[in-house]
Amino acid sequence: MAVSDDEAQVLDQWTHRLAQALQILDLQVDQEMLLDLARKSSESVIHAAAPVTTFLVGYAAGLEAGTGSAGSKMASTASVAKAADVAFQLCGDGHEGGPAAKGWADTAQ
């Protein structure tokens, strides 16, 4: 999802302020990837899927990378990329398809 230079600057400032307020030090946010994921999930499912998808990707990445000082920057970046890849693949299947279309039937859950 392309944003104008002005919007990108506002988004950078907002991201920095929010990360500081949440006490997440030295966070590097791949805003372009997250905006792309939000756009893709919005188009593939419904508009409201955008924030939910990006939240779930962040949550899954946080769980995998560890919490607080336990996780490294490299682990966090890899975890976000892995979770985002799963979400992008699922977006490709649309809102009715994909590996979860049958619920938990084909998983180890």
pLDDT tens sequence across 43-102: 999 999 999 999 998 888 888 777 554 456 677 777 778 888 888 888 887 666 655 555
| Tokens 């949440």 -> residue | 22
SS3 59: helix
> How far is the CA of 43 from the CAs of 37, 91, 101, in angstroms?
10, 8, 18
Give 7-42 pLDDT, tens digit per residue: 999 999 988 888 888 888 777 888 999 999 999 999
Type of residue found at 26: D
| Whole-prediction pTM | 0.69
> What is the reported pLDDT for 84?
81
Cα–Cα distance, 61 to 58 (Å, whole number): 5
Nearest alpha carbon to residue 38 among 65, 18, 29: 29
* Domain residue spans of the chain: 5-92
